[in-house]
Amino acid sequence: MRRREFICLIGGSAAATWPLAARAQQRDRMRRIGALMSWSETDPRWQSYFAEFVQELARLGWVDQRNARIDQRWSDENLDRTLAFARELIELQPDTILAGGALSTSALQRETRNIPIVFAVVSDPVGLGFVAGLSRPGGNITGFSNIEGAIAGKWLEMIKQVAPRLKRAALMFNPDTTPNAKFFLGPFEAAAQALAVDPIVAPVHNDPDIEAIIESMGRAQGGLVMMSETFVVVHRATIIAAAARYKVPTVFPALFYAREGGLLSYGPSVSVMFRGAASYVDRILRGEKPAELPVQVPTKWETAINLKTAKTLGLDVPAQLLAGADEVIE
């Protein structure tokens, strides 16, 4: 029943009960949740993370097609498609939107400053201008950040542990999809200096660029540090295959890379971020404001080592590194 009809029919002392009735009506109505994912819809890894988001929403009481409708879009790292999907979702006027990755968050921010947005897997949300601060985001966007910039130094240290004779290492990223590369570059260069490694900045835009950089690192007996970004996710099969072919020790920013053949991975739990994003969507649907929900930073970090890949590269993984690993793939 609409408020106007309620007042006309009831009126008088019953009007005092309106706030309670309004809240009940708000809970009962179908809520609309948008989701814009920066990755490929055919990628089983990201489908599984999105499924965890949907499952956590259901556990919290928001069941798709029962009391919530989830409209999802997958842009496959295509900028034009991402922008078009962002406009589509905003036109649907959802109650809140999940933004998977920085590319999707940026596209949605361009379209609305009113509809609440919850991001997951975004590095440096302050530097990218998504939020004013981590503790008080201040606008219509909040969420779950995945990486601190200092982690680039840790990645290089891990490569050096496995390949102690390493004299140079490249930090690979796509500048079109990673406007905040400097967030990682400073710590990477500082660690390189401390480890007596020549740091190489390696911007790439496509598979031929990836192949060329990794081939050059192979000739130079160098290593490779993969930045946490959507481009690396989408092109990971090319990167993993080329690193094996040219025998380049490579470290990745999330556990699933090692499971798929990468040598090393160190990063936060992606599953935790998507389940956390569901909890923020729930809180927003129940009346909280994104401006007052602090951006969450990782608390659970995962190390994975692929011993099969290490053997292919002719590397011996130190016992200390193996002992601290969350997952060892043999």
Q: What is the pLDDT of residue 28?
A: 58
Put simply, whether the predicted model's pTM sits higher than 0.85 gets the answer no
Query: Same domain, yes or no, for 18 and 158?
Result: no
More reliable by pLDDT, 106 or 27: 106
Query: Same domain, yes or no, for 259 and 280?
Result: no
Give the three-class secondary structure for 73: strand
CA distance 69 to 48: 19
Query: Same domain, yes or no, for 90 and 229?
Result: no
Query: Same domain, yes or no, for 165 and 79?
Result: no
pLDDT at 19 over 60: no
Query: Same domain, yes or no, for 124 and 48?
Result: yes
Query: Same domain, yes or no, for 257 and 282?
Result: no
| Contact criterion met (CB below 8 Å) for 115 and 94 | yes
CATH number for the domain harbouring residue 254: 3.40.50.2300
Query: Same domain, yes or no, for 187 and 251?
Result: yes
Instruction: Show the domain range for 276.
Output: 3-146+270-300
Query: Same domain, yes or no, for 248 and 203?
Result: yes
- Mean pLDDT of all residues in 290-313: 94
Total structural domains in the chain? 2
Question: 3-7, 248-252, 304-308: which range is least confident on average?
Answer: 3-7
Q: If you count them, how many residues does the chain have?
A: 330
* Cα separations in angstroms, 33 against 62, 72, 92, 138, 302: 10, 8, 10, 21, 30
CA distance 266 to 301: 7
Query: Same domain, yes or no, for 142 and 279?
Result: yes
Token reading at 111: 């379209």
Query: Same domain, yes or no, for 257 and 291?
Result: no
Nearest to residue 181, comparing CAs of 191, 190, 171?
Answer: 171
CA distance 263 to 249: 7
pLDDT in tens, 197-230: 999 999 999 999 999 999 999 999 999 999 888 8
DSSP code per residue over 259-285 = HTT-SEEEEE-HHHHHHHHHHHHHHHH
- Mean pLDDT of all residues in 114-127: 94
Question: 13-17, 67-71, 159-163, 287-291: which range is least confident on average?
Answer: 13-17
